Structure 1
Amino acid sequence: MRIVILGDTHIPKRGKELPERLIKELSGADHIIHTGDWITMEVYDKLKCFAPVDGVYGNADGESVRERFRDREILIFNNLKIGLVHGHGEKKTTEKRAIEAFDENLDCVLFGHSHIPYLRYHYKTLLFNPGSVTDKRKLPFYSFGVMTIDKDISVSHVFFT
Structure 2
Amino acid sequence: MRVAVLSDSHLGAPSAWFEAVYARHLAPADRVYHCGDHAGVGLWAYLLQHPGFEAVAGNSDGYDLAAQLPPLLERDLCGQRLAVTHGWGPRPGLAARNAKACAGRYDLVFFGHSHAAEDTRLGGLRLINPGALQPGGSLALLECEEGTGIRSVRFVSV
TM class, shorter-length: 0.7 to 0.9
User: Structure 1 residue 123 and structure 2 residue 123: aligned?
Assistant: yes
Q: Deviations over 1:84-131 (max 9, x none)?
A: 111112596211222223253322111100101111111221111101
User: How far did 1:34 drift?
Assistant: 0.3
Aligned-pair Cα RMSD in Å: 2.2
Matched ranges for 1:41-60 at <5 A = 41-60=41-60
In 2, Cα distance between equivalents of 1:91 and 1:47: 26
CA contact (8 A) 1:8 1:37 kept: yes
AA of the residue aligned to 1:3? V
Per the normalisation by structure 2, the TM-score is 0.86
* Corresponding position of 2:154: 156
* Corresponding position of 1:100: 100
3-state SS in 1 of match to 2:114: coil
* Corresponding position of 2:73: 73
Task: Name stretches of at least 5 consecutive residues in structure 2 with no aligned partner.
Answer: none
Matched ranges for 1:140-151 at <5 A = 141-150=136-145, 151=148
User: Structure 1 residue 6 and structure 2 residue 6: aligned?
Assistant: yes
In 2, Cα distance between equivalents of 1:91 and 1:130: 14
In 1, Cα distance between equivalents of 2:127 and 2:113: 13
In 2, Cα distance between equivalents of 1:92 and 1:73: 23
How many pairs does the alignment contain? 154
AA of the residue aligned to 2:149? D
In 2, Cα distance between equivalents of 1:91 and 1:32: 24
In 2, Cα distance between equivalents of 1:83 and 1:114: 17
Runs of 4+ deviating beyond 3 Å: none
In 1, Cα distance between equivalents of 2:94 and 2:140: 18
3-state SS in 1 of match to 2:121: strand
Identity %: 25
Task: Name stretches of at least 5 consecutive residues in structure 1 with no aligned partner.
Answer: 136-140
Per the normalisation by structure 1, the TM-score is 0.84
In 2, Cα distance between equivalents of 1:128 and 1:53: 17
Aligned pair in 2 of structure 1 residues 22, 91: CA closer, same or farther (>3 Å)?
closer
In 2, Cα distance between equivalents of 1:33 and 1:146: 10
